[in-house]
Amino acid sequence: MKPYKTILLSLLILPLPLLLGSCEKEEEIENTRWVLVWSDEFDTPTPDNRPDPSKWTYEKGASGYGNQELQNYTDRVENASYTTHKGLGCLKITALNDNYDGIAYSSARIKTEGLFEQRYGRFEARLKLPYGPGLWPAFWMLGANYATNVWPKCGEIDIMENKGYQPNIVSSALHFPGHSGGNPITQTFGYEDQRFDTDFHVFAVEWDESKIDFFVDNVLYKRVKAADVTDGEWIFDHPFFIILNVAVGGTFGGNPTADTVFPQSMYVDYVRVYQKSTEVQPGTNTGDISSNGSIPGWDFNGPDSDKGLIEPELK
């Protein structure tokens, strides 16, 4: 069982470390009291061992999703199931090379659409990523009005994406009119001596009417302010829903190679959503994750100009 209590975020100044390109700017984190309003801890399996249907639904099919992806998304327990990993109750999203329904690869993409959607707050997940060329794990959100405001007018918040051949690098992005497809507002974050596929890490976004902040392991590494967007239309003012998936192939990180080993899984320890205490209705749950901390920086424009491509034996 994972503990809960209300969290109070301290007022502090953090550098924006570990970025592609050096950045000397410092950003201030507000003194914000967050209250947990929704979560899935994945501690108690459902009877069929699939994601809780009161919280998650599935995207299904093999359309390529506009990115030339190769997988067939299914609702099978083989692709999304409860498990225990490193002693923790988790959800496991698994990409397989199994030729299901005549498609070489299968995987899962689960979402809270129609079940939970929220405007503003802190959204976070504790994840352990898969590894290998052609794998594309992601934790992201899509505007709930996408049926009437077609992408990118609905907005997209990519909290975490990873190119499977770069196990120590993740990125975030915002897609909206003026910045979409190959031109989002994006930022990369990485570790010099840690990997995202060998242990769990916390990925989060804090979003309000004026800005969106991105965190890895409670380190603020990117802030996008609405006032600074002068070459696009800031549309992040309506509810979004959460998506977790592992894509195979596509335009982001390329396709699998002979070196890609299957199956590959993304383990999800929890997903939690908070609101500011001043905006929460009485009787909500509470949580305990803090948005502070710091780690050493790494200059991606230095000798390692491959932007973090490292060998599998690095632990």
Active site residue 113: no
* Residue 287 near residue 4, CB atoms below 8 Å: yes
Task: List strands edge to edge, sheet with 240-248.
Answer: 57-59, 109-111, 240-248, 135-143, 156-161, 169-175, 185-190
Of 124, 161, 206, 279, catalytic: 161
> Is the separation of the CB atoms in 59 and 86 below 8 Å?
no
How far is it, in rounded angstroms, from Cα 256 to Cα 248?
7
Beta bridge partner(s), residue 39: 272
- As a dihedral over the C-alpha atoms of residue 50, residue 283, residue 286, residue 207, rounded to 10 degrees, the angle is 90
The C-alpha atoms of residue 267 and residue 127 are separated, in whole angstroms, by 6
Residue 114: count of CB within 10 angstroms of its CB: 9
Query: CB-based contacts of 1: which residues, under 8 Å, 6+ apart?
Result: 41, 43
Task: Say which of 41, 69, 124, 156 is annotated catalytic.
Answer: 156
Extract the tokens encoding 267. 């383990």
Residue in 71, 62, 63, 59 with CA at minimum distance from that of residue 256: 71
- At 228 the three-state DSSP class reads helix
Catalytic residue status for 28? no
- Residue 93's SS3 state is strand
Point out the residues that are catalytic.
Answer: 156, 161
